[in-house]
Chain A
Amino acid sequence: MGFLFDIKEATYKWLGIGSIVFGLILVAFGWDMMRDPKTAYLGYQALGGCLPFLLVIGILFLSVGLKAEREVREFEKLAAYLKAYRRIKIGALASKMKLSEYETERRIIRCVRLRLLTGHIDRATNEFFNPAGTEGKTLISCPQCGGSVEQMVMAGETGKCPYCGSLLTAGKG
């Protein structure tokens, strides 16, 4: 369903740019007509009557299209982050996306609906994880200080003891 977004974005932009280009063509013809005294009034009508309307419509559509494009890019970026991290706290993601936690979660939910990503939110840790984020191993305590770590780490990933800062891993592969 994500493609619908793209269609919406592109349609608005096409309409916007089409209106502006049509307006510019009108300028060209209007200008040409104004040079001939017989058709000057038509040139004035084209420039004065249609041009502002076309330009306003064009700019309006273009701005809506650009806004939709920005939205699409943000959703894609969010989905890419969630894919890259596999398991990430929503707070950490919010700081990366420069959004509030609430808004970040709303967008994640929206991404899931648009089928841009699949995954779930773990309510105990407030983490989002995709299917690859379920295959980790649990670190229970830190071998250096004995502190409780309680983290799930994936293959090749490193956990961090919240007490002594030691880096830990669940294994090499």
Chain B
Amino acid sequence: MGKILGLGENAHWSLGVLFILMFLVGLGSGMLYLSNGDVGGAVSVLGPCAVIGLVPGVIFLFFAAKLSKERGDLERLGLFLARKGRATVAEVSAEFKWAEPDAEDRIVLALAENKVAGNFDRGTRQFYTEASVQNMEFVAKCGACGAGIGAWVSKTEPAKCSYCNSEPRPGFVLPPPLPAPVPMLYGPQPGVPLQYAAAPPGGAPAYGMPAYGAPAYGMPVYGAPGYGMPAYGAQAVPPGQVPFQPGQTMAAPFQQTLAPPVAPRVLAATPPGQMPFPSGQSPTVPPVGASYHSPYPEGAPPPPPPAPRRKRTVKFLFFSMKSGALKAVGFPLFIFGFMVLVASIYVSREPQFVGLGPLTVICSALFYLPPLLIGAALIIRAYREEKYKEQLLDIVDYIETYRRITLNLLAQKMQAPEEKVRKIISDILEFQLVEGYLTPDGSEFIISLRKEDVKSLRACPYCRNPNLNLQVIRGGSEKCPYCSGVIYFQEGS
């Protein structure tokens, strides 16, 4: 990010100014020399000053300005995101005139530097602030015309469906704490905005079929008021022509409504502990009403903190020091041997050894060769040990990150033979770096987890196969071996 020497923006400004001041002092001295007619003296002062003062000063100031601009950009971005609540990467890119990948990088950086608090939405590639989660709601479909909207809209600001120009909010909003199934009702409902027309009782020309057995189920009697589907954007019913209820006085907004009568569809949540699909229904094509399965009560207890990492054991510390010790012995031995070799070559060139030179080198091999060879062997061994330790720690990290991993997969990840991986795992267990065990067939390593972090599944929620025997770890998922459905760990399931 344009930092030199790991310094911050202020340090860059300070150093830049300091170096420039040094240059200016030198410049002043140079001028004094020039005024005395000593051009050589002036050059001798100005040259070093330019090199020592001006160049580093300009570099530091350049980086300080760059850091300042980056900070300003991130602050503006943070404010923009906080103001918008929800913004796509494309919007940020257009606003700040950055390329989209750069815009995404900077959003992520702003988040990392706490300029804004929020998260990315993977489905829409939008960034949303934490505050917007409470202030916005998701509208999947327009309640009036049924057009797919799939957008987050503010609860307080007006929003229009781009297809029918009506308020789309009371459409297919799927709130998390879904109430008990409610039959489709007609007429003004509590909580439903009044701009929607009330349907006449008995013959509801609502969009979508009402629930079977509901009062409005089936077609109304031919010729009855409200028979047939109303045309989209139908004209308002003239007051008094369609009696909604004998003796009932219609509220003013209903008299002005142009939209066809629509009953809000309320999607029922599957009660906790039940299968998402009622028996007798196809599990592969579930009914619309059963599509959102949320068996987890709102306000579920927060997950327990992740298990703390194990501390390195004394045994492992000794193992870690092994390579250092080997190097500590190997390098001096090697250097000593090398120096004796050089000395023997030097001595062999002395006049008193003329004629015996090569013999001197060969004879002194007794002194330099063993330390040279032993030193080299120890150094090679030390590097091998270090590589082994690195592999061991890599495997520990893989195990801790995956929590359960097959040895085959581990061997692929490590690009090493499975046998070697197995040996490393036995060392890991010996050093007690990870608490876990190999499965009886030795094909998988499973980390020891707390009881509340593991759920056993007896039946698949998709294919309902009762022979399932899977264990899902908190936050993770497993694939059903029968239907390949991905089953996530969820609190309370």
Contact = CB atoms under 8 A, between A and B. Distances in A.
A140 B293 contact: yes
Interface string A132-173: 111111111111101010101111111110000011111111
A1 B421 CA distance: 26
Nearest to B461: A140
Nearest to A66: B4
B40 interface: yes
B120 A123 contact: no
A32 B473 CA distance: 73
B432 to A, nearest CB: 17
A31 B44 contact: yes
A122 B477 contact: yes
Contact of B148 (A132, A160, A166, A173): A166
A124 B479 contact: yes
Interface residues of B, number: 93
A48 to B, nearest CB: 18
A112 B488 CA distance: 23
Contact of A134 (B124, B303, B397, B485): B303
A123 B294 contact: no
Given A24-B52, A32-B44, A137-B176, A158 B124 contact: yes
Nearest to B124: A158
Given A105-B413, A156-B128, A80 B111 contact: yes
B150 A138 contact: no
Contacts of B140: 143-144, 166-169
A152 B478 CA distance: 13
A29 B48 contact: yes
A27 B51 CA distance: 9
Interface string A73-114: 100110111011111100010001000001001001110110
A25 B50 CA distance: 11
Interface in A26-61: 27-29, 31-32, 35
A143 B172 contact: yes
Nearest to A146: B285
Contacts of B418: none
A134 B56 CA distance: 49
Contact of A138 (B108, B126, B488): B488
B47 interface: yes
A95 to B, nearest CB: 10
B284 interface: yes
B132 interface: yes
B123 interface: yes
A76 B6 CA distance: 14
Interface stretch (B333-341, B374-382, B398-406): B398-406
A129 B475 contact: yes
A136 B3 CA distance: 38
B132 to A, nearest CB: 7
A121 B405 CA distance: 10
B433 to A, nearest CB: 12
27 contacts: A9-B6, A31-B47, A32-B44, A73-B1, A77-B108, A80-B108, A84-B107, A84-B108, A85-B119, A86-B119, A102-B413, A112-B400, A122-B476, A129-B475, A136-B488, A137-B490, A141-B286, A141-B293, A150-B486, A156-B119, A156-B121, A158-B126, A167-B123, A167-B138, A169-B174, A170-B292, A172-B137
Interface of B: 1, 3-6, 40, 44, 47-48, 51-52, 55-56, 101, 104-105, 107-109, 111-112, 118-124, 126-128, 130, 132-134, 136-138, 140-141, 148, 150-152, 172-177, 267, 276, 284-288, 290-294, 296, 302-303, 305-306, 393-394, 397-398, 400-405, 409, 413, 461-462, 473-479, 485-486, 488-490
Given A25-B51, A92-B122, A171-B138, 20 more contacts: A13-B6, A28-B51, A31-B47, A32-B48, A77-B108, A80-B109, A84-B127, A108-B401, A121-B402, A123-B404, A134-B474, A134-B475, A134-B489, A140-B276, A158-B121, A158-B123, A168-B150, A172-B138, A172-B173, A173-B134
